[in-house]
Amino acid sequence: MTDSGPSEVAADGYAEALAELQKILDALEEPDVNVDALAGYVDRAAELLRFCRERLLSAETQVTEIVAGLEQITGDDEAAPAADGAAADPD
């Protein structure tokens, strides 16, 4: 396992980080896992998990903002006909 910095993880993206994390897990499940490399595997896995969590939180924030914007547009559209309808029918 090579020592990669956070910038390399960020350049690869979420899917690649997840795939690398799966490779690490597979290596750790091997009966003849290299004990000398164990700490490096765990350190890299922790780095990848942090990266993936940050990406998920960022995506969640973006989706929440988009949905809020759509709800605002929908709310404005629904309010406009009601106001026009009330003004058009004075009875």
The residue among 4, 7, 38 whose CA lies nearest residue 20 is: 4
pTM, to two decimals: 0.65
| Lookup: tokens for 26 | 């597979």
As a whole number of Å, the end-to-end CA separation of the chain is 78
How far apart CA 2 and CA 66 sit, in angstroms, is 38
* Domains along the sequence of the chain with CATH: 6-88 (1.10.287)
pLDDT score recorded for residue 12: 75
Helix (H) or strand (E) holding 89: none
Walking along the chain (91 residues) 10 residues at a time, the average pLDDT comes out as 52 89 94 91 96 97 95 70 52 55
